[in-house]
Amino acid sequence: MRLMEEKILAEGKVLPGQILKVGSFLNQQIDTALLAQIGQEIARLYDGAGVSKVLTIESSGIAIAAAAGMAMGVPVVFAKKHKSSNVDGEVYTASVHSYTHNADYTIVVSSDYLRPEDKILLVDDFLANGKALMGLSELVVKAGATLAGAAIAIEKGFQGGGDALRAQGVRVESLAIIDAMDDNGITFRPQ
Ligand code: 5GP
């Protein structure tokens, strides 16, 4: 998606530890025109795939997942990062290692919202080592639902998570794939 690449080049900041900061348009302030186009592009990519629900992790995935869900006309579910008082009854959980925080956390979703008849599209803002997507896939498996694939705003291709998932047969669509980045610039994978 050319618009996403242009936005990353114009406003993304490469931080130490190979972290890309996109707070000006995705992670803190949200460019709503871009967000609407992200939703449309994800809907276009997964048109005809039979997606019944979008699944993400709070909090930075929610806006993108909501845009995708609105464009596809399906509900959006977000896994919570801790079991809180408003997640009760039967739950599915998975453990995720966070690259940005260098810590493990548990993701939780109520079994009311992931059903065996669902065909799930995973959505997130970033894909790096793939741990977040693996945790979400585990929730889909635990629910007995079907995985349609994943849609990601920005994949850091050099961290390998996306290609590892593709090698396992998971459909992964990323709107921009960064093959290299440093202080001197950002290189995108041709798509
Ligand atoms: P993974 O689990 O694929 O290693 O990392 C994906 C998760 O880590 C995403 O949910 C995202 O929130 C966070 N993340 C990973 N790399 C970056 C990055 O370069 N910038 C930002 N803003 N978040 C990142």
Tens place of pLDDT for every residue, the chain, 191 residues? Answer: 999 999 999 999 999 999 999 999 999 999 999 999 999 999 999 999 999 999 999 999 999 999 999 999 999 999 999 766 566 789 999 999 987 788 999 999 999 999 999 999 999 999 999 999 999 999 999 999 999 999 999 999 999 999 999 999 999 999 999 999 998 899 999 98
Q: Say how far apart CA 172 and CA 144 lie, in whole Å.
A: 20
> Ligand 1: distance of its center to the CA of 39 in Å?
19
Identify the residue whose C-alpha is closest to ligand 1 atom 10: 126
Indicate if ligand 1 lies below 6 Å from the C-beta of 128: yes
Classify the C-alpha dihedral 138-64-13-186 as positive or negative: positive
Q: Write the CB contacts of 32 (distance below 8 Å, at least 6 apart in sequence).
A: none
Q: What is the value of pTM for the model shown?
A: 0.97
Instruction: Give me the pLDDT at residue 183, please.
Output: 87
> Ligand 1: distance of its center to the CA of 158 in Å?
13
Per DSSP, the residues of 148-161 read EEEEEEEEEGGG-H
Instruction: Give me the pLDDT at residue 82, please.
Output: 78
The domain of 52 spans 2-188
Identify the residue whose C-alpha is closest to ligand 1 atom 6: 127
Instruction: Give me the pLDDT at residue 99, please.
Output: 78
> What CATH number is attached to the domain comprising 164?
3.40.50.2020
Instruction: Work out the end-to-end distance of the chain between its first and last CA atoms, rounded to an integer number of angstroms.
Output: 8
Instruction: Give me the pLDDT at residue 130, please.
Output: 98
- φ and ψ at 84, to 5 degrees? -115, 175
Indicate if ligand 1 lies below 6 Å from the C-beta of 131: yes
Domain count, the chain: 1
